[in-house]
């Protein structure tokens, strides 16, 4: 048990470090600043929009509510499907209603957390994967000019994974009755924010 706590401490420290690094300004000490800054831009991108942040955290919380194997299957499949969406964005393949798709992802994922819905595993995976395409497309189309594509990609993949990790860590309170209630409250908040994002997207 103590060992588990130690590993959990390590994971929390690692996540905190990633978050901290993603908020630091670039040192710009090296010649290739235009290239190297791509990583920071990529790290910042998923954090820059509350719609992305809430949807990713909802994925993590929902995974924690569902338990194994969804707990690891959702965060493992999400980045790969998201990268397919990003490739569509990179190649200029249009995806209609991206902002609407992202807003709906927050609504539905929030609702799943709110209701502690436990569908079959493949349904959960398909649902999360479907919305991952919208999030990936948004990341893929927004690389600032002059920056390294690879480093930008690495940045937003890692930042997305960290957001999932935060959601999973939040989901660990699911073992207590009060924690369950708090998570359902968080789901309601995410769904409500999703409605707000949707209103913004269609207005």
Partner 1 sequence: MKISFLNNLRILLGAAVSAVLLKPSVAAAHLVTTGMGPVYDGIGHLLLTPEDLVPALAVALYAGLRGRVPGRRALFLFPLAWLLGGFSGFSVSSMPAFPLPAISFLLLGILIAADLRVPDNVFTVIAIAVGIMHGFFNGIALKMGPAGLGLLGIMAALFVLLAIVSAFVLSLKPPWTRIVVRVAGSWVAAMGLLMIGWFFRSQV
Binding residues for partner 1 (CB under 8 A):
3-4, 7, 11, 71-72, 75-80, 82-84, 86-87, 90-92, 140, 149-151, 153-154, 157-158, 161, 164
How does 96-107 read in b/e, with b if 16+ C-beta sit within 10 Å?
Answer: eebbebbbbbbb
For residues 56 and 103, which CB has a smaller minimum distance to partner 1 in the complex? 56
- Cβ of residue 184: shortest distance to partner 1, in angstroms? 23
Closer to partner 1 at the Cβ: 103 or 164?
164
Minimum CB distance to partner 1 smaller for 40 or for 151? 151
d(CA 113, CA 111) in angstroms, rounded, equals: 5
Q: How far is the CB of 18 from partner 1 (least distance, A)?
A: 12
Please, which residue, 52 or 164, has the CB nearer to partner 1? 164
CB 199, min distance to partner 1, A = 31
Closest CB to partner 1 among 127 and 162? Answer: 162
Structure tokens belonging to residue 80: 């790969």
How near is the Cβ of 185 to partner 1 at its closest, in Å?
Answer: 25
d(CA 109, CA 161) in angstroms, rounded, equals 17
Q: How far is the CB of 10 from partner 1 (least distance, A)?
A: 9
Alpha helices in the chain (DSSP H): 2-23, 33-48, 50-66, 70-90, 98-115, 121-140, 149-171, 177-202
Q: How far apart are CA 94 and CA 83, in angstroms?
A: 15
């Amino acid at each position: 048990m103590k060992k588990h706590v130690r590993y959990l401490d390590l994971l929390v420290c690692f996540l905190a470090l990633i978050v901290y690094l993603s908020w630091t300004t670039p040192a710009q000490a090296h010649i290739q600043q235009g290239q190297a800054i791509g990583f920071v831009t990529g790290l910042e991108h998923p954090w820059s929009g509350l719609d992305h942040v809430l949807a990713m955290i909802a994925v993590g919380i929902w995974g924690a509510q569902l338990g194994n194997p969804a707990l690891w299957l959702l965060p493992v499949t999400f980045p790969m499907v998201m990268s397919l969406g990003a490739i569509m964005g990179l190649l200029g393949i249009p995806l209609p209603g991206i902002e609407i798709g992202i807003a709906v992802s927050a609504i539905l994922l929030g609702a799943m957390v709110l209701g502690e819905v436990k569908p079959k595993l493949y349904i959960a995976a398909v649902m999360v994967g479907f919305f991952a395409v919208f999030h990936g497309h948004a990341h893929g189309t927004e690389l600032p000019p002059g920056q390294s594509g690879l480093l930008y990609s690495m940045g937003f993949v890692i930042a997305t994974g960290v957001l999932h990790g935060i959601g999973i860590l939040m989901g660990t309170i699911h073992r207590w009755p009060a924690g369950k209630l708090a998570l359902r409250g968080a789901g309601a908040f995410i769904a409500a924010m999703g409605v707000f994002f949707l209103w913004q997207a269609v207005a």
